Amino acid sequence: MILSVDPLHWTMAALTGAAWSGLTVRTLIRARRAGQAAAVAGPGGLLIGYASQSGSSEALARAAAAQSPGARLLSLDQIGAADLASTAQAQFYISTTGDGDAPDNATGFLARVMSLRPELGRLSYAMLALGDRNYPRFCGFAHRLDQWLRACGATPRFPLTEVDRDQPTALATWRARMGEPTRTGAPAPGIAPESTRWSLAARHHLNPGSPGGPLWHLVLDPEGPLPDWRAGDIAEISIPTQDGPVRRDYSLASLPVSGRAELILREVISREGRPGLGSHWLCRQLGEGDAIDLSIRANPGFHAADDAMPMLLIGNGSGLAGLLAHLRHRVAQKASGPVWLIHGERSPDHDAVFTEELSGLVAIGGLARLDRSFSRGGEGPRYVQHILRAAATEVRAHVAAGGGIWICGRREGMATDVQQALEDVLGQDETARLMTERRLRRDIY
């Protein structure tokens, strides 16, 4: 939380609180003095900022904040130029997404703050960059932020520390630079939370005969106590390979109340015909009853804001996983806002997956509206973005009524086109505002 230095703002906030908490005038004055003291001390203290698309750097930032009492923990979108100008010490945990791009919770900062050149001569900072060397612009957004901070006069405590998602041991370098003690011989703690053991209970081929890649529904049983998670969270699965384990992320389709973890997987085959490492192992090699190491990563950027907010869920293919979790959560609530689902697939004859569950929810009113698009052989809209454009009036009404939008699935061929359709329907500024306000949330890959 940023404590405002504006006394009028503070007084108004305190008065509003006092109205229902029954604060006496004396307590109010004391609170106001304390507030002013905090407002002066706050900006001088440690600021911990993060930019995270799927929760990894946010988790590291949260862990750092937990060890630094009094530190302000903020996503980049919550930070203004004045906050940076009045801060002496900062830590930044910065991921890169897309093609060297800023995560969704930093796009507002990029447009609003990085377009300025504030004087940041007071600021000393440390930056941890999360990325993946398989992408050409490795840690691209972190480098851009680092260069901008230097250009504004801020001083890095040490060079930018890059962490490749396949080499999390580089975190040890960061910890050493930060002066944190590391036990000799102990492996550097990774980004992932502790893994738990599961076994494959069932696997169904969802789309036999489809012109698209095979889609699978996997059901996993925990071998120990069931961990907790929320709709929107991610399963990180450790895939055994000749060169050691590699990690792959999958959106959880189920909730802990079911006692099981459900995933929806597209079996990936490269253009050259090479099977995808993780999806091939999970969809073809793993046998029923075989063990899997899995850790669940909180993905607050794709959580639901509150159960009353009307939800528009948009996705294609395996993206149904992250959307199903939200839908199932909503259906389990006694009173919750309406849900509208738009899902795209290939063929109406082979890819109309989860129809029984979805039609059943429409019948009982758990799903207020269901739209499906098929890119091959069907009548009507071919892609989800066509549905959005055709339903422009209803989409605008949904947003005007305070609704939010959740998008899950492939970045290329879905999320980028949906983004364009939203900008056409709602306007560029409104779409950007929804993202900054976190009423537009994306789990895209």
Ligand X SMILES: Cc1cc2nc3c(=O)[nH]c(=O)nc-3n(C[C@H](O)[C@H](O)[C@H](O)COP(=O)(O)O)c2cc1C
| The one among 72, 203, 266, 329 contacting ligand FAD by CB under 6 A | 266
The answer to the question of residue 354 lying near ligand X (CB under 6 A) is no
Please choose which of ligand FAD, ligand X, none residue 250 contacts, taking the beta carbon within 5 to 8 angstroms, the exact cut-off set by kind: ligand FAD
Tokens representing 8? 């009028």
| The one among 206, 321, 327, 384 contacting ligand FAD by CB under 6 A | 321
Closest CA to 66 of 83, 91, 89: 91
Contact pattern for ligand X over residues 145 through 184, marking x by CB under 6 A: --------------------x-------------------
Residues comprising the chain, all counted: 445
Name the residue number minimizing CB distance to ligand X: 131
The answer to the question of residue 251 lying near ligand FAD (CB under 6 A) is yes
Span from 37-45, 107-115, 191-199, 263-271 in contact with ligand FAD (CB under 6 A): 263-271
| The one among 64, 126, 139, 358 contacting ligand X by CB under 6 A | 139
CB of 358 to ligand FAD, least distance (A): 17
| The one among 109, 141, 174, 250 contacting ligand FAD by CB under 6 A | 250
The answer to the question of residue 248 lying near ligand FAD (CB under 6 A) is yes
The answer to the question of residue 132 lying near ligand X (CB under 6 A) is yes
| The one among 107, 138, 178, 349 contacting ligand X by CB under 6 A | 138
| The one among 277, 331, 370, 390 contacting ligand FAD by CB under 6 A | 277
The answer to the question of residue 374 lying near ligand FAD (CB under 6 A) is no
Half-sphere exposure of 285 (CA within 13 A, CB side): 13
Cross-strand partners of 50: 75, 93
Name the residue number minimizing CB distance to ligand FAD: 276
The answer to the question of residue 249 lying near ligand FAD (CB under 6 A) is yes
Q: Are 233 and 262 in contact (CB under 8 A)?
A: no
Size of the site for ligand X (CB under 6 A): 24
Secondary structure of the chain in HEC code, one letter for each residue: CCCCCCHHHHHHHHHHHHHHHCCCHHHHHHHHHHHHHHHHHHHHCEEEEEECCCCHHHHHHHHHHHCCCCCEEEEHHHCCHHHHHCCCEEEEEEECECCCECCHHHHHHHHHCCCCCCCCCCCEEEEEEEECCCCCCCCHHHHHHHHHHHHCCCEECCCCEEEECCCHHHHHHHHHHCCCCCCCCCCCCCCCCCCEEEEEEEEEECCCCCCCCCEEEEEEEECCCCCCCCCCCEEEEEECCCCCCEEEEEECCCCHHHCCEEEEEECCECCCCCECHHHHHHHHHCCCCCEEEEEEECCHHHCCCCCCCCEEEEEEHHHHHHHHHHHHHHHHCCCCCCEEEEEEECCCCCCCCCHHHHHHHHHHCCCCEEEEEECCCCCCCCCHHHHHHHCHHHHHHHHHCCCEEEEEECHHHHHHHHHHHHHHHHCHHHHHHHHHCCCEEEEEC
- Report the residue number, 112 or 411, with the smaller CB distance to ligand X: 411
The answer to the question of residue 207 lying near ligand FAD (CB under 6 A) is no
Please choose which of ligand X, ligand FAD, none residue 207 contacts, taking the beta carbon within 5 to 8 angstroms, the exact cut-off set by kind: none
Span from 55-63, 107-115, 256-264, 280-288 in contact with ligand X (CB under 6 A): 55-63
The answer to the question of residue 53 lying near ligand X (CB under 6 A) is yes
Which residues 78-97 are close enough to bind ligand X by CB under 6 A? 95-97
- Report the residue number, 57 or 251, with the smaller CB distance to ligand X: 57
Span from 6-14, 138-146, 317-325, 365-373 in contact with ligand X (CB under 6 A): 138-146
- Report the residue number, 95 or 336, with the smaller CB distance to ligand X: 95
CB of 285 to ligand FAD, least distance (A): 11
For the chain, how big is the Rg over CA atoms in Å? 23
Which residues sit at the interface with ligand FAD, rule CB under 6 A? Answer: 54, 234, 248-251, 264-266, 268, 270, 276-280, 318, 321, 443, 445
Which residues sit at the interface with ligand X, rule CB under 6 A? Answer: 52-57, 95-100, 103, 130-132, 135, 137-140, 165, 411, 445
